[in-house]
Structure 1
Amino acid sequence: MTSSGDKAVVPVEVKAVVPTSGGCAVFLGDDEKVFVIHVDPVVGAAIAGALGGVPAIRPQTHDLIGALLLAFGGKVERVVVNDFKNDVFYARLILSEENEVQERKVVELDARPSDAIAVALRQKAPLFVVQSVWDGAEDVTELLEKLADQGLVPRPEDGENEIGGLDAE
């Protein structure tokens, strides 16, 4: 556990992206716990593509955001899933900029977790969850293991970044 400002945070990674009838389930967690965020299919595919290193034929929105940041000397520092209210997760996208004219500047933006994750994965930035959100999130580790048993997602020990049956393009 680390700290982000005055709140304790837990580092997490995307464990899997699984298509659902209404979009995609993004499984986030560590070796101890996994929870799920439901996202729309377009962003689910963007996250899956970033995980699998699948280049898009043309830049997608999340690629464009990353390119704009780099063009202005900025980068994604981290993403923090910082709240959960009324069945909705919230996140902050923490960006920084530094150049020869201006000292280092940090900007924190409100973002949908799905968009923030898609951008962060492309920029190889870390993902965190505020401790209170982590503690309150339902642990779905067993569900993820069942999906792996059924061959719908790879097991972490397989060392693959493939996602179960989702076309990342």
Structure 2
Amino acid sequence: MIEMKVVGLSLDDATKAPILVLRREAGEELLPIWIGAMEAMAISIALNSVDVPRPLTHDLLLNTLRSLGAQLVAVDVVDLRDGTYFAELDILLNGSRIRVDCRPSDAIALALRADVPIFVSEDVLRRAAEDRLRPNLDENAARRPTDAASSMAREETARRDVRDRKS
């Protein structure tokens, strides 16, 4: 398993879908993963340390784990099938390790909140590179990702402010 860090979020130029960009901890290798808008928002909130008045879903899950005496140890991206990535939560409970199937976007949203490492299997990295599953990714955008979810939130806030001023 290779430790990866979240570089940020970007947007697919063609589809405008959010892209989560991971980079090898000790290197320049990138792994872009296309995710949903809501997942991008959850990741953006964690990346930007945004305080929310009530727990969001990922906060709820992390709080639940902690309340049960469990500890999220790491998250692992373990497989790539037909263009879909698969992840697992690595949880320690009562001295036993438990693995829970999870979408990578949810796993990473949790990892950022719990400040635990993100790992990707070497096989997944190799297959992602070989399969060229990133046909619409501008390499420059991946190297300098914009935080698309934060941009979306700022735009919505600006629209709301304009509406409020008109009222």
TM range (shorter): 0.7 to 0.9
| C-alpha distance in structure 2 between counterparts of 1:167 and 1:57, whole Å | 16
Q: Which residue of 1 aligns with 2:21?
A: 27
- Partner of residue 163, structure 2: none
Counterpart residue number, 1:65: 61
SS at structure 1 position matched to 2:73: strand
Pair 1:39 & 2:35 matched: yes
Greater Rg, structure 1 or structure 2? 2
Q: Is the 8 A contact 2:10 2:141 kept in 1?
A: no
Q: Name 2:142's counterpart in structure 1.
A: 144
Q: Deviations over 1:37-79 (max 9, x none)?
A: 1111111110111111112222110000000011111111111
5+ unaligned residues in a row in structure 2: which ranges? 158-167
Match of 1:123 in 2: 114
Do 1:19 and 1:166's aligned partners in 2 also have CA atoms closer than 8 Å? no
> 2:7 matched to which residue of 1?
15
Distance 2:37 2:11 in 1: 7
Over 2 Å off, 4+ runs: 18-23, 138-143, 163-169
Distance, in Å, in 1 between the alignment partners of 2:17 and 2:38 is 8
* Aligned residue in 2 for 1:54: 50
Structure having the higher strand fraction is 1
**1:75 touches 1:123 (CA, 8 Å); kept in 2?**
no
Q: Structure 1 pair 23/58, CA: closer, same or farther in 2 (3 Å)?
A: farther
Separation in 1, partners of 2:56, 2:11? 19
Could you tell me which runs of 5 or more consecutive residues in structure 1 were left unpaired when the two chains were aligned.
1-8, 99-103, 154-162
Map Cα deviations across residues 63-116 of structure 1 (whole Å, 9 max, x no partner): 000000111111111111000010100011111123xxxxx1211011111111
Q: Which amino acid aligns with 2:97?
A: V
Map 1:89-100 → 2, pairs under 5 A: 89-98=85-94
Q: TM-score, normalised by structure 2?
A: 0.77
C-alpha distance in structure 2 between counterparts of 1:85 and 1:75, whole Å: 28
SS in 1 for 2:153: coil
Give the stretch that moved more between structures: 122-131 or 18-27: 18-27
Residue 78 in 1 paired to residue 74 in 2? yes
CA RMSD of aligned residues (A): 2.2
